[in-house]
Amino acid sequence: MDVQTLSLQDATYLAGLIDGEGTVTLTRKHRNENRQLAVSISNTEKPLLEFVLKTIGAGKITGKRTTSSRHTPSITYAIYNRQALRLLEQVGPFMRTYKAERTNFILRDYLALTPRNGKYTPQQQRARTRFEAAVLQIKPS
């Protein structure tokens, strides 16, 4: 599935959701892998995340484990890699938190530092490691 072209209204609404309830990060699925781009939104309202999935047209919704019976079950919408990049291209101009700075950094450098075949020369790997560290250093002030 590919990311749909968002209306101005949907792009601004999703930017607010990501700014308020979401994450823009580089994450690992396995310990020795390079980090991959991930955009996620966690919430307790499944209809909200179903709207997000339907509007974007890509990604997935998963449940999160609760550690206490007093906690409300939470669910997460997530989208990864190039699909996440296409989402950020559309919502990035409307973001306002530190996630906007992360988004701009990612939009500028992610593709150039991420070979499609996943094979890195030693020089590319060093540049990629510096990029990952720089993105993850951008935090709330």
In 3D, which of 133, 21, 10 has the Cα closest to residue 78?
A: 21
- Mean of pLDDT values over 125-130: 93
Q: From CA 86, how far away is CA 81, in angstroms rounded?
A: 9
The string of pLDDT tens digits covering residues 6-56 is: 999 999 999 999 999 999 999 998 888 889 999 999 999 999 999 999 999
Q: Return the DSSP state at 74.
A: -
In 3D, which of 52, 60, 48, 49 has the Cα closest to residue 1?
A: 60
- Mean of pLDDT values over 68-92: 92
Mean pLDDT, all residues of the chain:
93
Between CA 114 and CA 57, with CA 107 as vertex, the angle to 5 degrees is 90
Question: How does strand 22-27 pair with strand 75-80?
Answer: unpaired
What domains can be seen in the chain, in order of their start residue?
8-137 (3.10.28.10)
Kindly report the length of the chain: 141
Judged on CB neighbours under 10 Å (0-12, 13-18, 19+), 6 is buried
Are 83 and 2 spatial neighbours (Cβ–Cβ below 8 Å)?
A: yes
Residue 73 φ then ψ, to 5°? -60, 135
pLDDT, position 68: 73
